[in-house]
Amino acid sequence: MMNDVHPEAADDGRRRRPEERDVTVSDPAGVAPCTDRSLRSVVLQDWAANRGSTKSQVVMAAFRLAHHWDQGDSRVPGPVRKLGVLGYKVLTTWVLGVEIPPETSIGPGLVLKHPQAIVVNGQSRIGARCMLRACTTLGNLVERDGAETASPVLGDDVELGVGVIVIGPIHVGDRARIGAGAVVITDVPAGAVAVGNPARVLPAADAT
């Protein structure tokens, strides 16, 4: 499970300046160094979750290999790794229309539903067993002074509907579900359902 606090969130709700940030968001499972696992299990950690979509399986397997090489693998010469990472970017971004930079921190079991026009900022963090659908963007903001904010953090088991945009230093809690077409610009608590533009959290089904 990931921490429920975004690293940039201050107690009073305002966005923290970079020098104020002191909360560490744990790395999602599966982002720990891969060296203690076989390369096969690293590369195929999303395969079963994406059964039924060969494209999703290929994109995620390619991402895992590129991520592994991007983090460094002493068994493979540096130039070969760089070439592999470049090949991953060309294949996925230019050809397959899915832009997930190799440095992105992603937990195991990421599901890509209809993987078209998916754009993820490389500083984003995605927990375990999440789902991204077509036309999803996880991005940062450029502030008026030109500074870039941090990127979204998704907890574990987060489901994004088709066409969801999450921008800025936003934390989406574990098991949250975001409705199709939502634009998320504020944090979403764990277990919540949020819809609309800007996204609003729906009352819990059992709320009176």
Ligand X SMILES: CC(C)(COP(=O)(O)OP(=O)(O)OC[C@H]1O[C@@H](n2cnc3c(N)ncnc32)[C@H](O)[C@@H]1OP(=O)(O)O)[C@@H](O)C(=O)NCCC(=O)NCCS
What is the contact surface with ligand X in residues (CB under 6 A)? 113-114, 133, 161-162, 177, 179-181, 193, 195-196, 202
For ligand X, which is the closer residue by CB, 17 or 51? 51
For ligand X, which is the closer residue by CB, 28 or 179? 179
* Nearest distance in Å: CB 115, ligand X: 11
For ligand X, which is the closer residue by CB, 29 or 162? 162
For ligand X, which is the closer residue by CB, 80 or 180? 180
E-strand ranges in 68-192 read: 98-99, 105-106, 111-113, 118-120, 125-126, 131-133, 137-139, 153-154, 159-160, 165-167, 171-172, 177-178, 183-184
* Nearest distance in Å: CB 161, ligand X: 3
C-alpha to C-alpha distance for 12 and 91, rounded to whole angstroms: 44
* Nearest distance in Å: CB 119, ligand X: 17
* Residue 79: its H or E element: helix 78-89
| Nearest C-alpha neighbor of 177 from the set 109, 120, 129 | 129
* Nearest distance in Å: CB 150, ligand X: 25
